[in-house]
């Protein structure tokens, strides 16, 4: 067959030409993270909560083989930036929640 049937009203993801799919799979990607964590104690007597501040810097370097390597650099940077911002918007808040939960567990024991 041609793959699984899609629910009514939902379109299948676009199919990339074989050489583009192979280029994506052959891309070399290096990712580095640098996270700074700052905790400010609250004041129970004044009913002030503590504050957890996380700053994360992500560096991504991708080497693309042809035909993707022939695309203009600004176009690749814009597309990559959009993908990273979308991923960060969904991942970083949850990461912060997990760190806060770990801190709460640690501070109680």
Angstrom distance (rounded) from CA 57 to CA 35: 6
Q: Please, what is the Cα angle at 48 between 42 and 50, to 5 degrees?
A: 35
Q: What is the mean pLDDT of residues 49-54?
A: 84
pTM over 0.75: no
Q: Which residues pair with 55 in a beta bridge?
A: 36
21-25, 46-50, 56-60, 85-89: the lowest-pLDDT one: 21-25
Angstrom distance (rounded) from CA 51 to CA 37: 10
**Can you read off the two tokens belonging to residue 1?**
């067959």
Angstrom distance (rounded) from CA 27 to CA 79: 15
Q: What is the mean pLDDT of residues 33-43?
A: 87
Instruction: Evaluate whether 64 touches 25 at the Cβ level (below 8 Å).
Output: no
Q: Sign of the CA dihedral 38, 101, 43, 92?
A: positive
């Amino acid at each position: 067959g041609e793959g699984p049937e899609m629910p009514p009203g939902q379109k299948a993801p676009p199919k990339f030409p074989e050489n583009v799919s192979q280029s994506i799979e052959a891309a070399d990607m290096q990712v580095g993270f640098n996270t700074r964590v700052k905790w400010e104690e609250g004041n129970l007597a004044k009913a002030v909560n503590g504050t957890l501040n996380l700053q994360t810097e992500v560096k991504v370097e991708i080497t693309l083989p042809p035909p993707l390597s022939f695309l203009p650099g600004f176009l690749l940077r814009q597309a990559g930036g959009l993908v990273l911002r979308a991923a960060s918007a969904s991942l970083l808040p949850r990461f912060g929640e997990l760190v806060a939960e770990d801190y709460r567990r640690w501070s109680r024991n």
